[in-house]
Amino acid sequence: METSTLCGLWGWRPTWLQRFARKEIYILLYSVLGAVQGMGHTYLSSVLTTIEKQFGIKSQEAAWIFSGNEISQIAFIFVIPFLTRLQKRILWTSIALIVSAFGIFLCAMPYLVRDKAQYEGGWETHKVSSKDMCGMAEKAEDRDSDICKVQVIRDWGGLALIFLGFFVSGIGTSFFYSFGIPYIDDNVSKRNSPMALSFIMAGRVLGPALGYILGSTALKVYVVPGGEGSLQEGESGWLGAWWLGFIVISIVTLIFAPLLALFPERLPTEEDTEAKRLEQKKIEEPQSAKDYVTETINCGKRLLKNKVYVFNSLSTIFFLFGVVGFGTFVPKYFEYHFRRSTSSSGSSGGMSKALGSVVGILISGAVLTKFRFRSRVVAGWNVIISAGGVAFFIIMSFIACPRLEISGHNAMTPVSVNVSPVSPASALASCQSSCQCSQSVFSPTCSSDGVSVFFSPCHAGCSEVRRENVTISGRRVERKVYSSCSCLQNLEANITSPWWMEAEEEDDINSPLVIAAKSIGQGHDQAIDGYCPFNCDRQFSLLIGLLSTFSLLGSTGRLGNQLLSLRAVEPRDKAAGLIIMVSLLSLLVFLPSPLIVANIMDNSCIEWGSNCGEVTNCVLYNTDAMRHTLCYFVAACLVLTTLADFGVWWNSAHIQLFDDDDEEKKEDVDVKIKGEKNLGLEMETS
């Protein structure tokens, strides 16, 4: 057997290892690695808000920091003349993934080398201390100065490490997609290629869902595991373990990536595959640098003249331009618009959407393998899906939750003041002014009426704080309870006890806490850490349902799109075509799209946090503006996608997706010729 079809490395190719030289084993391993690669981007999305808080950066700054992955992939296009001629592509892909694992690990280094003392008992720059209460002697400026003496929040050195980590990881991603997919497409027959590719794409789709789940799990752990004291998730001093998932992803990559290097240059098979044909042709390789450049230019010209490749590339670019930026910030959208917890906002709907996509891809693989549709049928279905996506995001723009209102906070002009006629805004402002509240830390505080939200306990006029077991959403949890809140006393609230003390069982009615609440002005002068009760579950469930449906239907066109892209180009140009697409997507999509959506998010901000006189991350958004701008932006991108898909449909009639087409035509011709010969013999005989 030829060395090119044997598993192993260099001279080490043991007999027992050859049983693994099968397309099924490669598909399984490649799918697992694809899932791990897919986890990286969505894990970043799920912890993005926490990283913004950790480093005190805006969304636009965060998008730039994490653009390292795209910048390295853009650089890939300049080495096409050399990469397309690599002989042991799977080996180099394995090496690149190992390097990528170390890059991902670098992203956790800013935490690993950081002094952990600042996190003990709560994140110091965001904790609510006695100095943040009303009636303290210090002026607001003095309190802000004290915070600055503790720590300057921005760590540009740490952010540079994260940028470098993503830059290095982008190398592995480029090799993985540019060489991995052509390898399996070349080593299976065109008849079986759709099913094989569907399993690989299903793994890539499942990965992002696992990334969201990993992010959700990590954020439920305090940034220093075990160092939170009595602090719980949802309180102002809580910071999730954003660094933890990077270590997990890097370790899993290091476990599986070396196995990829053991696969041969060509899989041994009896099927008629593209890899066999290319090996038999023995195409003459360029001998000089000039020849390499000339061949690369000729390859570029062939691709540019290929209308299906060009329109399909435009379709992919427009589609991802809208979806990638939206997907990057969708956990943040869930967190602020639907007021989900930081840990749940990333995983919300992630698995259901992923399962829908996996089912859609596998169904499309089975259907295409069985029915072998013509190229125009496949392209036409993509037009329908894109047009449906436009309608979906327009509908999504109408799924809204009530906007958050902050009582008496004049800095936020778009937000209405929630006070009664008995206590006009001027009286509330005067009360807050006498407290000399700091504007540097946003610590949402809900009054006892369960309606009025204040910027901080100081803005509510609270002068005392204690920790109590309270009932929130039917669960008993320990939270901070503020009392002697002078700015709440005149709020209109016909209550017998604070909302977090509502007795769910008869035994609770006579509890000391409820009795104490009733004895102190019926609890009107109390407040609790966090937002007021908020129920937007119906709208959120509707949105998740629509997203899952769109994911299911949309995924049925992804495999057909990939097949059209692979079949539209000559076999020798597959790798080059994918390398160019990876670089173009990084340059035109993955780099600018998150920046544009980050700008949309920042423009909808109505209250910025501050630290040491420097503006940090946004703490409050105009969610209506956020929703409309995001949805219409994605819908506009999908309109362009629909037009490009129509261009693919118009020009795709000549594309042959399956070898069976030629075989059937040949059989028809043979039958026709044989019939003519038989007819001629019969005429001669007669």
Q: How far apart are CA 676 and CA 682, in angstroms?
A: 10
Let me know whether 506 and 429 are in one domain. yes
Q: Is residue 450 part of a domain?
A: yes
pLDDT at 422 over 60: no
| Residue 634 belongs to some domain of the structure | yes
Percent of the chain topping pLDDT 90: 14
Whole-angstrom CA distances from 146 to 114, 438, 444 are: 21, 11, 21
Among the listed ranges 64-73, 178-187, 356-365, 420-429, which one has the minimum average pLDDT value? 420-429
Mean pLDDT of all residues in the chain? 77
For residue 517, the SS3 value is helix
Report, as an integer, the average pLDDT of 59-77.
74
Least-confidence region, from 122-131, 299-308, 639-648: 122-131
> What DSSP state is assigned to residue 533?
P
Q: Quick one: CA dihedral 44, 48, 52, 54, positive or negative?
A: negative
Q: How far apart are CA 176 and CA 184, in angstroms?
A: 12
The reply to whether 261 and 366 lie within a common domain is yes
SS3 of 254-323: the string is HHHHHHHCCCCCCCCCCCCCHHHHHHHHCCCCCCCHHHHHHHHHHHHHHHHHCHHHHHHHHHHHHHHHHH
pLDDT at 552 over 70: yes
Strand partners, 607: 620
The enclosing domain of 565 has a CATH number of 1.20.1250.20
Judged by average pLDDT, the poorest of 163-177, 222-236, 353-367 is 222-236
Q: Is residue 121 included in any domain, yes or no?
A: no
Residue 621 or residue 351, greater confidence: 621
Over range 460-487, report the average pLDDT. 83
Higher pLDDT, 149 or 225: 225
For residue 665, name the pLDDT band (cuts at 50, 70, 90).
very low
Of the three residues 533, 551, 576, the one that is the final residue of a domain is 533
pLDDT interval class at 380 (50, 70, 90): very high
**Does residue 673 lie within any of the structural domains?**
no
Using pLDDT thresholds of 50, 70 and 90, give the confidence band for residue 336: confident
Burial class (CB in 10 A: 0-12, 13-18, 19+), 305: exposed
Q: Which bin fits 562, alpha (ψ -120 to 50), beta or left (φ > 0)?
A: alpha
Residue 41 parent element (H or E): helix 23-55
Last residue of a domain, one of 514, 533, 552: 533
Tell me, yes or no, whether 581 lies in a domain. yes
Residue 385 is assigned to a structural domain of this protein: yes
Res 91: pLDDT: 85
**CB 332 within 8 Å of CB 345:** yes
In this structure, the answer to whether residues 449 and 591 fall within a common structural domain is no
- Single out the residue in 511, 533, 555 at which a domain terminates: 533
Is the pLDDT confidence value at 386 over 90?
yes
Residue 78 confidence class, pLDDT cut points 50, 70, 90: low
335 and 393 inside one domain? yes
* Calpha distance 489→85 (Å, rounded): 77
**Phi and psi, residue 4, nearest 5°:** -65, -15
The band of 172, judged by pLDDT with boundaries at 50, 70 and 90, is confident
- Does one domain contain both 390 and 497? no
pLDDT number for residue 504: 45
Per-residue model confidence (pLDDT) at position 275:
59
pLDDT-derived band of residue 598, with 50, 70 and 90 as boundaries?
Answer: confident
Are residue 385 and residue 430 in the same domain, yes or no? no
Query: What is residue 640's predicted lDDT score, i.e. its pLDDT?
Result: 96
pLDDT at res. 531:
82
Please list, in sequence order, all residues whose beta carbon lies within 8 angstroms of the beta carbon of residue 130, skipping any fewer than 6 positions away. 136, 465
pLDDT value of position 420: 41
Q: Measured in Å, how far apart are the chain's first and last C-alpha atoms?
A: 56
pTM: 0.73
Helices 574-585 & 558-567 angle (0-180, nearest 10): 130
The stretch 301-313 carries a mean pLDDT of: 90
Give the residue-averaged pLDDT of 667-672: 45
At residue 338's C-alpha, the angle toward residues 502 and 488, to 5°, is: 45
Residue 13: per-residue pLDDT: 86
Q: What is the mean pLDDT of residues 54-62?
A: 78
Report pLDDT digits (tens) over 109-134.
988 888 777 777 676 544 444 456 78
Residue 661 has pLDDT above 60, yes or no: no
Structural domain includes residue 185: yes
Tell me what pLDDT residue 419 has: 38
Given a contact cutoff of 8 angstroms between Cβ atoms, the answer to whether 21 and 264 are in contact is yes
State the average pLDDT over residues 372-393: 92
Tell me how many domains the chain contains. Answer: 2
**In terms of domains, do 520 and 491 share one?**
yes
How many beta carbons lie within 10 A of that of residue 652, not counting itself? Answer: 24
Residue 451 has pLDDT above 70, yes or no: yes
For the segment 421-444, the average pLDDT, to the nearest whole number, is 70
Whether residues 260 and 170 fall in one domain: yes
* pLDDT of the residue at 311: 93
Task: Give the least confident one: 213-222, 283-292, 417-426, 549-558.
Answer: 417-426
Report residue 27 as tokens.
């598909």
Average pLDDT over residues 61-77: 74
Highest mean pLDDT: which range of 143-157, 201-215, 414-428: 201-215
Same domain, yes or no: 262 and 209: yes
Range of the domain at 442: 126-149+403-533
Tokens describing residue 549 = 């449906």
The verdict on 172 and 269 lying in the same domain is yes
Alpha helices (H) along 78-233: 80-83, 89-106, 109-112, 140-150, 156-186, 193-219
Mean pLDDT of 261-265: 86
pLDDT at residue number 243: 92
Please tell me whether residues 374 and 483 are part of one structural domain: no
Q: Are residues 356 and 282 in the same domain?
A: yes
Band of residue 686 on the pLDDT scale cut at 50, 70, 90: very low
For residue 425, the model assigns a pLDDT of 65
pLDDT of residue 646: 96
- pLDDT score of 163: 87
- CB contact set of 226 (below 8 Å; sequence gap of 6+): none
State what percent of residues in the chain have pLDDT above 70.
74
State which of 175-189, 190-204, 596-610, 630-644 shows the largest mean pLDDT.
630-644
Identify whether 177 is part of a domain.
yes
Burial 508-519 (b: 16+ CB within 10 A, else e): eeeeebbeebee
Q: What is the DSSP secondary-structure string of 396-454?
A: HTT---PPP-BTT-TT-TTSPP---TTS-HHHHHHHHHHHT--SS----EEETTSS-EE
